[in-house]
Amino acid sequence: MGAFRSIAIVGAGLVGSGWAIVFARSGASVSVYDADAAIRGSVLDRIEASLEEMRAVGLVEAVAPVLARITVADTLADAVRDADYVQESVFERTDVKTAISLEIDASMRPDAVVGSSSSGIPASAFTEGCRNRARFLIAHPVNPPHLVPLVELVPAPWTDPAIVPVLRAEMEAAGQVAIVVNREIEGFILNRLQGALLNEAWALYESGYASAADIDATVAHGLGLRWSFMGPFETIDLNAPGGVADYARRLGPLYHSVALDRTAPRPWSDDLVARVETERRALLPQADLAARRAWRDARLMRLVAHKRQTAKEAGP
């Protein structure tokens, strides 16, 4: 555990409860708040269930000590007033983010740090009016954050630059893999990369080149296998005898030609979405979505456990 010993989680849905696990398993005391009383009443049960699943695959040694470090606050002020760090994870809408940021700002310690789980809205869009705006920035996780460790740190133009390395160190102390986005850009890094793949997938499907299932298989059983432990630059560096420069010489013209083919991207039309929805529901009925999400999380847990073990075996 790093210097952030008292953590507040504002918004206790899937992302917020995952963040609670991240910090509590690292040894911090965590206070969780959600405006919805029903969510506040169920969050500890949901966290306990997740911890039990993690314990079964070796991602936590015991459930009780982690759970004991998490409490539920009755008010936002109670949650944040003594916190070293606040992780906000409310609904992804600028007006909602603005309102909650102002509420946090009114109750936080002036030396605390506030990270938002915003997936693509930059902090400058909703923290400008905060008196402590220099203490706010984006800390965008991948859902679920307690299983997928990446977190993007994106400062606003007015964020105190000294905060970024501190928060990066704290995230790494909590077991996350933090990256820094040097300046604001819509979608940050993760969703711009994901968006490029998604837009091409939709375009290929719309043009009839392959089924949704076969496009998924291309990633799950092809690209995704390498991408589970290395990124695009390392992938191509290893895919040509002479490394990345050799790869660029060989295949750069092909990728440039492909990029030129998408100079006028089309929105995902209602008809296109309906066609993919029909194919997906034939493969996975609506009633089975929750069970499939649980299957996904179980697979993620085993993958994370495997990566941790192989990292230990590889040594420093």
- For the chain, which residues make up each domain, given as ranges? 6-180, 190-283
pLDDT digits 0-9 by tens, 181-207: 999 999 999 999 999 999 999 999 999
- 190-283 matches 6-180 in CATH topology: no
H helices within the chain, ranges in order? 14-25, 37-56, 63-68, 76-80, 94-107, 163-173, 190-206, 212-218, 224-227, 232-238, 244-260, 270-283, 289-314
Q: What is each CA distance from 65 to 27, 142, 202, in whole angstroms?
A: 9, 25, 45
CATH of domain 6-180: 3.40.50.720
Spatial neighbors of 15 by CB under 8 A, at least 6 apart, are 89, 117, 141, 143, 144, 145
Return the pLDDT at 34: 98
Q: What is the mean pLDDT of the chain?
A: 95
For residue 18, pLDDT over 80 is answered with: yes
Mean pLDDT, residues 9-31 taken together: 97
Return the pLDDT at 2: 64
Decide yes or no: CATH 3.40.50.150 for domain 190-283: no
State the pLDDT confidence band at 309, using cuts at 50, 70 and 90. confident
For residue 136, pLDDT over 70 is answered with: yes
For residue 111, pLDDT over 70 is answered with: yes
For residue 313, pLDDT over 90 is answered with: no
Mean pLDDT, residues 283-310 taken together: 93
For residue 131, pLDDT over 70 is answered with: yes
Q: What is each CA distance from 48 to 38, 42, 53, 166, 273, in whole angstroms?
A: 16, 10, 9, 30, 36
For residue 218, pLDDT over 70 is answered with: yes
State the pLDDT confidence band at 315, using cuts at 50, 70 and 90. low
